[in-house]
């Protein structure tokens, strides 16, 4: 066991949800009368809190239209979309194995809302694996490191005993800001070269490789 605490991003790291996020954001933008957003521009903001994502995608958007886009995105994501989401192959077994090790703590730091994370915890039965979590609507959005600071304090773990695992530069940069080790995974939304700029401690190119490394194999 390399670390007492492993903190995971959610979308693009544990769950293959990028296609659903793209579809729902495009639909919400059309509903709000903003127009068409490219898939690549939406993939770029995955990991940010929803207000920050909308501000990045739609420069100059007024508050009323931004709120309409936000509410329509939430509706499409929960009720209006049939685009499937599932854990990447091997993730569930890897998390269960880590959780079963004595002294190992697991947490989530995500750009999702609390309501959204709790929903997916319930629907997937995965909430039992994690000792704590932080979402973008209850603290500051990535890449600010506040959610990591709060998780360390809650779980009483020193930064040197923790690692952040994510698929975006937002994940890696918030860890780097407080001197936390960080693992880049290349199956998510940001390209390997972009992740490398954040100087990850380790880069995993496949799910089994990630969990083997976390377990010190």
Residue 137 catalytic? no
Give the separation between CA 59 and CA 155, rounded to whole angstroms: 38
Q: In sequence order, what E strands does the chain have?
A: 5-8, 15-16, 86-87, 105-110, 132-135, 162-166, 181-185, 202-204
Query: Among the options 9, 23, 167, 181, which is catalytic?
Result: 9
Which of 29, 31, 125 minimizes the C-alpha distance to 41?
Answer: 29
Residue 215: exposed, middle, or buried by beta-carbon count in 10 A (0-12, 13-18, 19+)? middle
Residue 11 catalytic? yes
Q: Any residues with CB less than 8 A from the CB of 19 and at least 6 apart, and which?
A: 83
CB 174 within 8 A of CB 145: yes
CB 61 within 8 A of CB 29: no
Residues involved in catalysis: 9, 11
């Amino acid at each position: 066991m390399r670390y007492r605490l492993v903190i995971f991003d959610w979308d693009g790291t544990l769950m293959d949800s990028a296609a659903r996020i793209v579809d729902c954001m495009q639909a919400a933008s059309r509903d709000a009368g903003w127009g068409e957003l490219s898939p690549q521009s939406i993939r770029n903001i995955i990991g940010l809190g929803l207000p920050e994502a909308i501000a990045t995608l739609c420069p100059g958007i007024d508050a009323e239209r931004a709120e309409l886009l936000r509410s329509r995105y939430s509706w499409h994501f929960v009720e209006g979309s049939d685009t499937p989401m599932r854990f990447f192959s091997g993730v569930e077994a890897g998390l269960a194995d880590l959780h079963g090790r004595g002294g190992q703590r697991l947490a989530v730091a995500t750009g999702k809302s609390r309501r959204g994370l709790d929903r997916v915890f319930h629907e997937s039965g995965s909430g039992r694996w994690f000792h704590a979590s932080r979402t973008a609507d209850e603290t500051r959005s990535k890449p600010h490191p506040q959610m990591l600071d709060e998780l360390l304090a809650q779980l009483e773990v020193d930064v040197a005993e923790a690692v952040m695992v994510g698929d975006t530069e937002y994940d890696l940069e918030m860890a780097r800001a407080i001197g936390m080790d960080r693992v880049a995974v290349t199956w998510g939304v940001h390209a390997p070269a972009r992740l490398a700029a954040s100087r990850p401690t380790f880069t995993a190119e496949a799910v089994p490789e990630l969990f083997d490394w976390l377990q010190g194999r």
